[in-house]
């Protein structure tokens, strides 16, 4: 059974709230996985996925600045600034290298982070990567959000309502605007680490066409589709997503170990 700890870490003027899940001692040799939340919401909805992954890895779930229980800077951070904040957080907790898994706009943050900090990244898992370039309008995104909602866990709405109150609607709206203008498709070819795109087959926010294109654009990319689930697989089917993530990580760890052994 995994242990969950909650900590605050300071970097500059920002105080970062982090949940840490593990089954083995934190200082024992093990791969680290960082889970990055999406728009407006905090790392709370990553709990079940983190608990699953903690059976094998040490799992970190930070709240990015402005969200959840981390500091709320008056200036609303754009995607690039959130990626810089993720870097500052990792340095503050002395996390040298990890696997990064994000949901929705958390994928945009991870993409930007990986491009500029590849030495800190083993690989990335982009689950439901925002924003689908074939539907990059406010109206289309809102309509797809409404259409997607009935297939999401009911508990997610309760978490979302609480988290939106914590960060404030102004921050949600401005961050959404930043996400819309961040053209993920232009940055994916610059991600030079192993990458996996994961899509739920009922995801209305991320079309299959976009998921397939995203995987193609990634130099070391691949795609997995999980049946019977919508946009937020981390909450709706955490066991399935943990299994896919574990397979991806394990395969690349074995390749790295083989390459090291044959040098």
Domains and CATH numbers, the chain: 3-262 (3.40.50.1820)
Q: How confident is the model over 132-154, as pLDDT tens digits? A: 998 999 999 888 888 888 888 88
For residue 154, the model assigns a pLDDT of 86
Cα separation, 241 vs 184, in Å, equals 22
Q: How confident is the model over 196-251, as pLDDT tens digits? A: 999 999 999 999 999 999 999 999 999 999 999 999 999 999 999 999 999 999 99
CB 33 within 8 A of CB 59: yes
Q: How confident is the model over 82-94, as pLDDT tens digits? A: 999 999 999 999 9
CB atoms within 10 A of CB 49: 28
For residue 257, the model assigns a pLDDT of 62
pLDDT over 90, % of the chain: 80
Which structure tokens are listed for 150? 């009935």
For residue 252, the model assigns a pLDDT of 82
For residue 4, the model assigns a pLDDT of 87
For residue 263, the model assigns a pLDDT of 56
Is residue 71 pLDDT above 70, yes or no?
yes
Q: Indicate the pLDDT class of residue 259, thresholds 50, 70 and 90.
A: low
Residue 147 to residues 55, 103, 119, 240, Cα–Cα distance (Å): 34, 18, 39, 23
pLDDT over 70, % of the chain: 95
Say if pTM beats, i.e. exceeds, 0.85: yes
């Amino acid at each position: 059974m995994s242990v969950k700890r909650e900590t605050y870490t300071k970097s500059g003027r920002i105080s970062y709230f982090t949940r840490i899940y593990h089954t083995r001692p934190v200082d024992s040799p093990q791969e680290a996985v960082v889970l990055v939340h999406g728009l407006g919401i905090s790392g709370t909805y990553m709990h079940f996925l983190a608990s699953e992954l903690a059976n094998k890895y040490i799992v970190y779930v930070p709240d990015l600045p402005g969200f959840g229980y981390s500091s709320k800077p008056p200036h609303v951070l754009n995607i690039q600034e959130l990626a810089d904040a993720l870097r500052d957080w990792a340095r503050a907790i002395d996390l040298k290298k990890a696997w990064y898994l994000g949901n929705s706009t958390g994928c945009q943050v991870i993409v930007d982070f990986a491009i500029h900090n590849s030495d800190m990244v083993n690989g990335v898992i982009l689950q439901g990567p925002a924003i689908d370039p074939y539907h990059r309008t406010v109206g289309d995104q809102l309509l797809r959000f409404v259409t997607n909602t009935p297939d999401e866990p009911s508990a997610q709405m309760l978490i979302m309502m609480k988290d939106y109150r914590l960060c404030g609607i102004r921050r949600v709206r401005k961050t959404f605007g930043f996400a819309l203008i961040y053209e993920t498709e232009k940055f994916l070819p610059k991600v030079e680490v192993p990458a996996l795109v994961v899509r739920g087959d009922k995801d209305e926010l991320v079309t299959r066409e976009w998921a397939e294109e995203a995987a193609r654009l990634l130099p070391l990319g691949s795609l997995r589709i999980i049946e019977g689930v919508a946009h937020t697989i981390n909450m709706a089917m955490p066991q399935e997503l943990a299994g896919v993530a574990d397979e991806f990580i394990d395969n690349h760890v074995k390749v790295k170990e083989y390459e090291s052994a044959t040098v």
